[in-house]
Amino acid sequence: VSEKNRDFNFIVLNGPNLNLLGLREPDVYGNLTLDKINELVIAEADVLGVGVDLYQSNHEGALVDKIQDALGKFNAIIINPGAYTHTSVAIRDAIKGVGLPCVEVHLSNIYAREAFRSHSYISPVCVGQIAGLGYMGYLLAMRGLKEIVSKSKSH
């Protein structure tokens, strides 16, 4: 976890069952473990000069706590809420509540799967969503958020 550049400090949150990556439905989610994806996230953060913190939880309230806690510590949030995408008003309200720019990431293309995955409670409170690009989604989210945060600083 590098915190080289205090201007850009992002937190990457992963929700339930994402700790099972590598093992879990590899045809849908790929072969990389969450640890491996996190290594790639840290490497990209270094390239971008962004500090990054990483957190995974299977618990909705723990994710809400982390989002609330981000205020004053981080200037952007990247979240893969897992199944909470489709159920959690609490996570949505937390993101809206802290007001930090947030990008929602999904490894799979949630719009090409079961109908219940096509609705996200989270996307209306995010600046954007990336779905279907596998682990690249996290890297692209950091790139986009760096641009968004730097623009908001120059105002």
Q: Which is nearer to ligand DQA, 2 or 22 (CB)?
A: 22
What's CA 21's distance to the chain center, in Å? Answer: 15
Pairing of strands 76-80, 102-106: parallel
Can you tell me whether residue 9 is helix, strand or coil?
strand
DSSP calls for 106-125: ESS-GGGS-GGGG--SSGGG
89 token code pair? 């008003």
Applying CB under 6 A, which residues contact ligand DQA?
Answer: 17, 80, 82-83, 85, 106-108, 110, 117
9 vs 14, beta carbon nearer ligand DQA: 14
Distance of closest approach, residue 107 Cβ to ligand DQA, in angstroms: 4
In whole angstroms, the minimum distance from the beta carbon of 84 to ligand DQA comes to 8
Question: Closer CB to ligand DQA, residue 92 or residue 106?
Answer: 106
| 29 catalytic per annotation | yes
Answer for the pair 143, 137: CB distance below 8 angstroms, yes or no: no
Which among 17, 10, 27, 58 has a CA at the least distance from the CA of 134?
27
Nearest distance from C-beta of residue 64 to ligand DQA, angstroms: 17
Report, in Å, the least distance between residue 27 CB and ligand DQA: 12
| 35 and 101 Cβ atoms separated by less than 8 Å | no
Beta carbon nearer to ligand DQA, 132 or 144 = 132
From the candidates 84, 106, 135, 138, which is the catalytic residue? 106
DSSP symbol at 54 = E
Does residue 155 carry a catalytic annotation?
no
**Catalytic residue positions?**
29, 106
